[in-house]
Structure 1
Amino acid sequence: MKKDFLCVLSLLAVLSACHENTLSLNLDDVSSCSASNLSSSSRSLLNRNSSSSWTPVGNSEDPGFACSESTKKLGLFIDSRDGHVYRTVTIGNQVWMAENLVYKNYNHEDPYAYSWIEAIDSVATGCHSGELFVYDGIAFGNCPIARPAQGLCPDGWHLPTADDLQALVDFAGGPKYAGKYLKSTMGWEGVGNGVDCFGFDLMPSTKDGFVEILSSDVRSYGDVITLVMSKYNAHAEFSTSMKEYAFGNVVRCIQGEGKKGLDLQIHRAENTYTGTFDSLIDARDGHVYKTVDIGGWVWMAENLAYGSKETYTYEEMIDAPVTGCYLDSLIWGDDYGMWNSCSAELPIQGICPDGWHVPSSYEWNVLSAFVNGLDNADDFAKGAFTGQMLKSTSGWPSGKNGLDAYGFGAKPANGEDEVRFWSSTDSPTKWDWFGNIYMVIGADSAGLEVYEINRYNNSGYPVRCLKDGENQQPSPYIYSSVGCDKPTPYSGAYGLVTDERDGNVYRTVNIDGTVWFVDNLKYDVPGGLTFCNCGDTTSCDAWGRLYPWTEAKVACPAGWRLPILEEAQHLVAFTRQTHYDLGGCNYDGDLLRATEGWKYEQGNNMLGFGAVPAGLKYFELDGFSTVTEEYCNKWPWEVNGGGGRASFWLYSDTLKRRPDALFLDESSKPIDLSSASDVKTAYSIRCVKE
């Protein structure tokens, strides 16, 4: 067996040696072509390349794969760069590394954790962190990496795209159940382990019970797309984070040749526009405007002049009487101008004529990319050529006139060296004040800028309207995801038992094989010490009594007893499994807490346990066993007590130093099993059937 394994390794080493040459593509390798007298109709804004076209697929039912060793199609691969041997696995028609990449890892605390900057191989792509990527005078919000991106993956492999990860999720049971079949059978906290049906063997990373697999896709102004799985449920869901903060993630390479370097072509016009203009008659006042088709989008080729005005305030531009976007409605308290977005949906017609609208920042962005000569730059930031292409050939300060290559004809007011056009997109400013994303065309540069708007700074700016049309807003980034199933309150039947000692009747419920009291015990032990509960002061018996340990041991009626630690552990495990199966959105303790009586957050009582916040009591005794002090939900030295809680005694044998207790509250740790003091403390009792 060992000999066969070594033979396989030797063969893999020979095969890997045949692929040692790494494909690299430097800036000089990317051609920049310009087109003389390039007409605006020869390229289209409406057919921009997209790095991914995947759509969500959701499974509502567990496919119930018959998982066994025979379902795992495993292999081996040697990375010729460092000799590391990786297990591989075939899942559907994809071949994945069955282990996390470790090549060139810079994180010494976790050898599997990469930032997106590292994974994409920023040295080869130029996609460094914290700065805009600049190429041929164009500054990008996102780096235009080659697709599919090899990144740090070995030759013959590449970083997965969002499409690749989506296909993996779909094959493995859909977003609701893929985590179950892809996660490892060990290493996850609590009930979070998977069944590893295909050999993908995904372990949690350093992110406290989560793992995020990096994709090469970056969208929405620098958001890196990752696939997330957690200890809380079986879901496999997509998430995003800014690339500068996308660190601590794992890389799983997928088989298939990848590329390094850039994926960029430039088709830039070099001459002033000589094409035709159309016209628009504003039905409101009869004003006639020139219009021009730029890449399939029709723009006004001159500024709006409705109402005989040249500039408009924010409320005029946004048409506040229609949209309700008054500055006075966007303030918080006395801090006039603090950020609070206008809720009007895009596209916003605003002050534009019917059939036209105020451009969004996205539409300005795409126009900027287009006139810079880019076909695939939804994530474009700004370029040195934007102004040159959009500025008029006259009217600017000496030496600053533009080429006006597309007939847009942007011109400043007399004596000024920039023009600032409104967008319909609001944005918080640096200090979280209300602002707008303007298209600013200056004497030397052009791009989108955010400026504050308030009652003291609500200057008028020109408007350029854009004709309504299809595909003018970005496609929503819909990731395959699934919400939690809504827990429903217990609707089953309760049993009833009468305590012959005092006639009190208690409800009972069977929870996965153990029959529990649903009500706290109320029996007043003769000659013993008991207390009224701390949660409902209107009745000593409403939520049962609190018992010191001595009385608790003998308090349950005949045929019933205190639960033992193992029974409480089983209750907690069953609750957490139910919580996991529901999707992990609520605290697991919610399933045990009653639907009323809690101060801040009611439970859903799905399991019928019905815990109420009866509290716990600490007390002091004198030498005659007389209670001298009582403290509900706090120690004597504490100034303030804790919030609502429920506490229940568990039976412990005499070999233990202290008994145990089950605690529930409304905090982030809603279920707790721990040792309890057997002196000066009193808890509730839930008896179990013998």
Structure 2
Amino acid sequence: MPLVLALVFAIFVAGCGDDSSTSSDPASESQSSSSVTLSEVEGSSSSVGRETSSSSVKSGDDSQKSSSSVSGKNSSSDGVDTSSSSVDNTRSSSSGYVLRDSLCSSDYEGWTQYIPQLQQEFICENGRWIPMSSSSVTPSSSSKYYDMSRLFVSENDYSYGEFTDPRDGQVYKTIRYEHGFRGIDSITFFAQNLNYGRMIPGGTQMTDSTKFCYDDDPWYCENGFGGLYTWATVMNFPAACDSFAMGSAKCPEEYDLMSNPVPEYQNNLSLVIHRGICPEGWHVMNEEEWATVMKGRGSRDGASYLGAVLWGSNQRGFSLLPAGVLQTQWVDSPEKYIRYANIDVFADHWIPGDYDGSLVRDSTASYGNTVLITQDRINRTAGTKKVNGLSIRCVQDY
């Protein structure tokens, strides 16, 4: 079930013109309603708008990390506090609406939301959603650190193996799950995100052996969150594949769907074994392998049982982290927008395949498949622009 962060605004019609006239403006279709719920999240089939993570102040002691998270607050089922609203301040917009600002929880201080119907971006500032144009704050992300001592603590006594990437000497914890299907008795996964490559600043063109680290801060890459990569980099395809669909003249690459040794698994993209950026003998985790990890008690409740840091428990030993994303374009246009967002909110991981679902809102962009996980929701058929930076997990070939 996709993540939905709902921002509820009370929107009233501004007095304008002859009541009997009709308008071709799409925004006018909803003017008869006294309120409208607008929601946004990359990966949600009903998304509209943008969101970014809240700002925080870096601790003076880098070894002591704050574990505060938005996930523990009193919230609606959509994950956003909508328990109170205000009708004090009004502000006219160019679309013909009068916006009566809603209160926002202190957990969302510094977050932004883009409302297409109003063609305006709003920021949570001093407990209220206000237009960015009138804000006194220019939001920027600044690092916040966490206590990582429980990253590999498993409540069910899963034991970890280790794998050393011969390319750079990076040592990864691994976790093995029994499978028992089609002759595969077990599957071994990385128990942490891939962290391969040299760190480069967000928005820089990725080349071989490069990665982004959240907030351009190496602490995240070095402490389990791993690197963030564009889709083409993860698949080890030419950079043009971040902007063009597979099989096109600019991105003629394809997957070898026959690479799976299990005959029944061949010709199936959700089961494809594709090495991509992973070490030799390993491949980019595919959709069905994510399903294998999600099996077990509590699986329908999302990641609350997959990671002890920020998300409560690590019942499966998978040590999942909500590592956030690097946004490099606006959701609905190719305009550059360099922002690290949503750390401690969700885990978004690339998987093989082009995405062609309802999320596509920018016809100039190419979208890739992702698995989007929040504390209480899982969506294995999500997607986002390939130019964004996301996490990946690797799986040992079988």
TM-score using structure 2 length: 0.39
Structure of greater Rg: 1
Work out which structure has the larger RCO, using CA pairs closer than 8 Å and 6 or more positions apart in sequence.
2
